[in-house]
Chains A and B, each alone.
Chain A
Amino acid sequence: MNASPAPADPRSWLTTTPKGLYCVPGGFFIDPAWPVAKAVITHGHGDHARPGHGAVLATRETVEIIRTRLGPDTIGSLQGVKYGETTRIGDVDVRLVPAGHILGSAQIVLEWRGARIVVSGDFKRRADPTSPPFEPIACDVFVTEATFALPVFRHPPDMQEIARLLGSLRTFPDRCHLVGVYALGKCQRVIRLLRAAGYDRRIWLHGGLMAMCEVYRRAGIDLGDIAAVSEAGPARRNDLFQHETFRGAIVLCPPSALGDRWTRRFPEPLPAAASGWMRVRARARQRGVELPLVISDHADWDELIQTVRDVQPGMVWVTHGREDALVHQVQTMGIPAEALHVAGREEEGS
């Protein structure tokens, strides 16, 4: 009579703790905010992959990224796996499948006693030349992000935004176009998009962006002619001696460098930023951006809803972002949904 045990309450085996999401029968955390003994990491962004853990399982690409970002000795053991490969941890089968967010990003598929939970991590649905596409996996519980979970967030086609950047270069051919990008993912994607749009001039990079570009190159992603700004020679202190090299050039830098004194070397810099937040004017103005480019590595509202439709989960848990709207919408679609309050998530340069 009791050949197959009744499916366990999913909350009983995947729980939220102050350190993050914890898989009880597996004895590991997912993207924990604090150092733990065992962790499975969805992707290499700073608020997901933190230092100090005893053992980490992640995709091979993510392992490479973690090594570069955090240095070789900040994590006890780093185990890299291929997409689709199953690893048994404790009593749980763990499989990493593409999330389409950045290089190496994965959803974590957990199976235990015939039940399946998918933790999406950060994801997006549109094509990205630097990351394999998101793979919908049917499941009992889909744990989704909600960074852009409001109907105001609908990212336009990325090539349209790149065309706006190139159009601005035509209008202001004398101004150095400084584009704020997150160092991991956004930077390399913007470079690839520029190449796809036919821009084959050298793209200059803030020094802080070089290491990750190297990781992408080693993963076989061609970024064309890129160089660190410092390679143009030392910047002179005198404002009148701005580097003519950068006149009409595209320079990528971390968003935090946009208003920095570092930018003084550039002739008439025009600050731009590539981020999903740029969709809302007040947000763009807050950052002093003159050319907001809506290019995001996160699912927009339509993608989030389409993903729930594709995955057909029995239940949706919403981790980080604008939970209210997504919970409301998923419930309206007839699927039980609730917000999980997971520690340690910040807005990244989405």
Chain B
Amino acid sequence: MQRFAALLDSLAFQPARNAKLRLMTEYMCTTPDPDRGFALAALTGTLNLPNAKPALLREFGVQRLGETLFVLSYDYVGDLAETLALIWQPSDTASAGQNQPAPSLSEVVERLRAASKRETPQLLEQWLDALDSTGRWALLKLLTRDLRVGVSARLAKQAIADLGKRDIVDVEEVWHALQPPYQALFDWIEGRAPRPDPGAAPVFRPLMLATALEDAELAGLDPAAYRAEWKWDGIRVQLVATAGHRHIFSRAAEQATTAFPDIIEIMDFNAVLDGELLVARPDESGTVHVAPFNDLQQRLNRKQPNPKLLQDYPAHVRLYDALMIDGEDIRALPFDERRTRLEAWYAARPRPRLDLSPLVHFGTWEELAAIRAGTREAGIEGLMLKRGDSPYVAGRPRGPWFKWKRAALTADCVLMYAQRGHGKRSSYYSDYTFGCWRPTNGGTAELVPVGKAYFGFTDAELIKLDKWVRDHTTNRFGPVREVEPGLVLEIAFDSIHRSTRHKSGVAMRFPRVHRIRWDKPPEEADELATLERMIAAP
């Protein structure tokens, strides 16, 4: 536990991605099983432990210090778990420091899992006595489910990939078939065993991602080699179904299963499918109409939707690819072949709330550009271009798949600062400064602010944003808070220009929050160079 605590402590203070990776791989190299496996589970959010309520922490604190000193301490520190970790002294001062040895992480996990609700506080007290302040902090953060050390599940998986000098998609491919403490994963990564084979198991498969297409690139591409589809303004999902298992995964491999029982209901098949989750309503003729993204947002806000919500905001999945059909892995086949299989599969068993994303036929790029420019339909963000001969490759290879967004420029930016608004928003952090990534000389990346936005979201979203800001504040300057680089805002703007007045060298015209990307890892936000390429020629 002490070693794990030291890792968390270092990670929390270390902003650079590469340095975080170094810290994690060093820990994984030097920590025995099963401790490191549980650490990996904690970092990726798969460690399910009973949680400790804030009231219990407060009660412990008052017991140890008395009300006055505890309140003064908590006021000063501002974080309950940290306050308790700092003030805690072993109950028997005579034996301070020589109580039982500090528990290992696996001991903590195993005993907590076996403990009854009544035993948990006792165990906790005993461990707090045995650990040092960093150890206590880590334990309390684990148990209050508040482990914010700036490491996404993906970054932790990257560390595992680095450890074995593998590609991260290899790790992601097997990830969902494994369980903490991930013995089989380490055995494979360290060369003691073959790669675990998820086979036809009902697990998430890493997605194939598209890169943004800039108009200048088009000339170099052969239109005959590419197929076009609409780019839907929804949420990318992977439907995974076998006999007895049905899952919906987000692009970040998070389960969205319980939120969409209407989709789960129609997944009576054996396949792994790639598509866009939308809210869509059929009209009398049976034609399906895609609703604006905001309707989908109503569904995304609810983990357990009620029947009224299901009726008012019916979910729909528009399919555009298949990874497996009836137990056969077809990812190695070319896109055209997969498409044929998908069409045949769907034609044989059509279902409500499920349809195919149509191919958009075109001859030349000019023709396609005209189609793209002529479409103002809600729910369409632009076009996808996919090479007909492209196999389904995990990750983001440049070339086989492009996204070609519609005119209004958008960029995925990372929230950096938030400022309280005015008038009725004066108690909300409603003005946002966001940034994009720029490489540093050290080979790492840093965020540079590229703009500010204070509209484009609903009041309900504002409440969530405000809470997020308060929960992730790292620094305060009067009315301004600096936040962890943890939230991606998709910013829409009319144009972008060079500016010497801004550190980033660019200024956006009419930036607004187009969408809050709760699902997107911040390291996948855009680079400043991408914005620079959007600058219109004078």
Residues of A within 8 A of B (CB): 150-154, 156, 168, 171-172, 239-240, 242, 267-268, 279-282, 284-286, 289-292, 322, 324-325, 328-329
Contacts and interface: CB of A to CB of B under 8 A. Distances in A.
B26 interface: yes
A289 B12 CA distance: 11
B73 A282 contact: no
Contacts of B78: 282
Nearest to A171: B26
21 contacts: A151-B65, A151-B87, A153-B86, A154-B86, A171-B23, A172-B19, A172-B22, A267-B442, A268-B442, A279-B86, A280-B76, A282-B474, A285-B13, A285-B475, A289-B13, A290-B13, A290-B19, A292-B13, A322-B76, A328-B68, A328-B72
Contacts of B19: 172, 290
Contact of B69 (A267, A285, A329): A329
Given A151-B87, A285-B475, A324 B76 contact: no
Nearest to A329: B69
B390 interface: no
A318 to B, nearest CB: 14
Across chains A and B, which 7 residue pairs bring their CB atoms closest together, nearest first?
A152-B86, A268-B442, A151-B87, A325-B72, A152-B73, A285-B474, A290-B13
A150 B72 contact: yes
A157 to B, nearest CB: 10
A150 B73 contact: yes
Contact of A282 (B72, B79, B442): B79
A153 B82 CA distance: 12
Given A152-B73, A292-B13, A325-B69, 19 more contacts: A150-B69, A150-B73, A151-B86, A152-B83, A154-B86, A156-B133, A172-B19, A172-B22, A240-B441, A279-B86, A281-B79, A281-B82, A285-B13, A285-B474, A286-B476, A291-B13, A322-B72, A328-B72, A329-B69
B93 to A, nearest CB: 10
A337 to B, nearest CB: 13
A338 B87 CA distance: 23
Interface of B: 10, 12-15, 19, 22-23, 26, 65, 68-69, 72-73, 76-79, 82-83, 86-87, 132-133, 441-442, 474-476
Contacts of B476: 286
Contact of A152 (B13, B77, B132): B77
Contact of B77 (A156, A171, A282, A292): A282
Contacts of A150: 69, 72-73, 76
Contact of B441 (A151, A156, A239, A291): A239
Question: Which of A151, A239, A329 has most B Cβ within 10 Å?
Answer: A151
B77 A290 contact: no
Contacts of A289: 13
Contacts of B133: 154, 156
Nearest to A278: B13
A171 B6 CA distance: 13
A44 B476 CA distance: 32
A235 to B, nearest CB: 14
Contacts of B22: 171-172
Nearest to B66: A332
A281 B12 contact: yes
Contacts of B68: 325, 328
Nearest to A271: B13
Contacts of B86: 151-154, 279-280
A197 B209 CA distance: 51
B486 to A, nearest CB: 14
A268 B443 CA distance: 9
B15 A151 contact: no
Nearest to B72: A325
Contacts of A322: 72, 76
Given A171-B22, A279-B86, A151 B69 contact: yes
A279 B15 CA distance: 19
Contact of B15 (A240, A290, A328): A290
A154 B72 CA distance: 15
Question: Which of A240, A282, A284 has most B Cβ within 10 Å?
Answer: A282
A239 B68 CA distance: 52
B69 A286 contact: no
A286 B69 CA distance: 24
Nearest to A264: B441
Given A172-B22, A268-B442, A286-B475, A151 B77 contact: no
Nearest to B84: A152
A284 B13 contact: yes
